[in-house]
Structure 1
Amino acid sequence: MAKLNQIIAVEKGVKSRAQRELADVLRVLQKPALLSGISRVYRAKDEEGETLPPESTKVQVKSEDALRDVARSLTRLFDVVATKDWANGEARADIVVDGQTILARVPVTYLLFLEKQLTDLNALIEKLPVLDAAEAWSYDESQDVWRTDPVETSRTKKVPRAHVLYEATDKHPAQVETFTEDVIVGTWTKVAFSGALPARRVNELRDRVDRLQAAVRYAREEANAAEVDDRQAGDAVFAYLFA
């Protein structure tokens, strides 16, 4: 009695061999000369006529023989795939993470599906936006987003000023220098909001996916180690097809 992982291991080789042998049969059947034969016997018109030896060509390939070769090649493949597919429906294992059973008696086909999906989820998590570490963030329950503490900044306005260099006299007008001065006219209060995630949350999700992936791989290996009954499907198929 074999194990499911052993059947899976030999399936590719059996399939390649069957395809190669089937291609060989097809190639031979496409050569009409190999399927043709002839027999010619010469008889002179009279006794004094020339005598020629008979000619003959034997049939080298028979279609029925080719069908038997095809059946023999494919029967092993049909049996291997049947054994694997029947076993896949029976092979099951639990997915356990840190002693907690996430799913019980999971079919190996679903384990393969889940493994692929977790790989895609892991790629998604790797691309999750993370809150800017340069800011201090807190969760705003009312808006369901992250927010920073308020930061105040001043708004200024340039106001023209005049500076008297020399006072006016009876002989000279006053000399005045003009300039502008930045004067605070108000205050901005800024609060930043974000829908990104804290780095610790992303790390936690990444860790959970990693652990579940490991558990699924372990369960798959355990399910594939199940012993399987050999299935004989090929003989029944070809007994009907080529009867």
Structure 2
Amino acid sequence: MTKLNQILAVEKGVKSDVQRKVTDAYHRIQKTPLLSGISRTYQPIDDEGEQLPPESTRVQVQAEQVLKEVAGALTRLFDVTATKDVANCSATADVKVDGAVLLPSVPVTYLLFLEKQLVDLHTLISKLPTLDPSEAWALDENTDTWRTEPVKTTRTKKVPRNHVLAEATDKHPAQVQVFTEDVVVGYWTKVAFSGALPQRRVNELLARVGKLQDAVKYAREEANGTQVTDQQIGDAVFAYLLA
């Protein structure tokens, strides 16, 4: 018996072939001269008149025949598509992760949907922001975010100072140099917070998604191995349409 994956393998080729044949048929029936014919004979008014040979043009395209050709091509497509769709209704498989059934009896159409969604999810997780590895982070229960240990730094202020280079005398004033000095006036205590994730957490999530992606692919292949019953839909359709 035929398997679903065999039907899927030929479906694309059948669609392409049918599209080509239907397009060719459409263009042929648009060429009016090909559908037209003529037969013309000449008879002089008397036996002494000039004799001319008959003229004729044969009909090269018959619309009814074109319809039959299109019907033949479409019948194959209708049957293949019907076989696939009917089989899809019964083609299911379990999604197993580490030997345990995570999703039982999933239809093959849903497995295809799930496979695409997991690709998008993998892309999202791979782009998640991660914590700066140069810092030591701990989970803060009050804010449900990650935080660093407090770092204490000083705050300074420039204070002007005088430096006497020479004392005043009765003949000369004192020589004084003015300069500024950084004086500690307070302390900053800094704690950084982040909503990013540890790299190990991102790696765990990527591993889980990857494992589920593999499981869905295995399930899809199993479902596509379902035996199918060839459907004969096209004949009934065109028996009615072209009656």
User: What interval of TM-score do these two structures reach, taking the shorter chain for normalisation?
Assistant: over 0.9
Which residue matches 1:138?
138
Which residue matches 1:39?
39
Which residue matches 1:59?
59
Deviation at 1:38, TM superposition (A): 1.2
Query: How far apart, CA to CA, are the structure 2 residues paired with 1:200 and 1:135?
Result: 15
Read off the aligned partner of 1:10 and give its amino acid letter.
V
Taking every aligned residue pair, what percent have the same amino acid on both sides?
Answer: 69
Query: How far apart, CA to CA, are the structure 2 residues paired with 1:167 and 1:223?
Result: 102
- Count, aligned residues: 243
Query: What RMSD in Å do the two structures reach over aligned CA positions?
Result: 1.1
Deviation at 1:164, TM superposition (A): 2.0
Read off the aligned partner of 1:201 and give its amino acid letter.
R
Query: How far apart, CA to CA, are the structure 2 residues paired with 1:171 and 1:28?
Result: 123
Once the two structures are superposed, residues 171-209 of structure 1 have per-residue CA deviations (whole angstroms, 9 ceiling, x without a partner) of: 333222221111000000001011000101100111111
Which residue matches 2:210?
210
Which residue matches 1:167?
167
Query: How far apart, CA to CA, are the structure 2 residues paired with 1:60 and 1:169?
Result: 131
Query: How far apart, CA to CA, are the structure 2 residues paired with 1:131 and 1:168?
Result: 63
Read off the aligned partner of 1:197 and give its amino acid letter.
L
Read off the aligned partner of 1:74 and give its amino acid letter.
L
User: What are the residue-to-residue correspondences of 1:1-243 with 2, within 5 Å?
Assistant: 1-243=1-243
Question: Alignment partner of 1:232: what SS?
Answer: coil
Question: Alignment partner of 1:216: what SS?
Answer: helix
Read off the aligned partner of 1:162 and give its amino acid letter.
N
Query: How far apart, CA to CA, are the structure 1 residues paired with 2:166 and 2:38?
Result: 134
Query: How far apart, CA to CA, are the structure 2 residues paired with 1:174 and 1:51?
Result: 146
Query: How far apart, CA to CA, are the structure 1 residues paired with 2:98 and 2:228?
Result: 29
Segments of structure 2 that go 5 or more residues without pairing to the other structure are: none
Query: How far apart, CA to CA, are the structure 1 residues paired with 2:227 and 2:121?
Result: 32
Query: How far apart, CA to CA, are the structure 2 residues paired with 1:3 and 1:28?
Result: 37
Query: How far apart, CA to CA, are the structure 1 residues paired with 2:23 and 2:166?
Result: 110
Query: How far apart, CA to CA, are the structure 2 residues paired with 1:34 and 1:184?
Result: 102
Question: Alignment partner of 1:118: what SS?
Answer: helix
Deviation at 1:212, TM superposition (A): 0.5
Deviation at 1:162, TM superposition (A): 1.3
Query: How far apart, CA to CA, are the structure 2 residues paired with 1:164 and 1:191?
Result: 44
Deviation at 1:20, TM superposition (A): 1.3
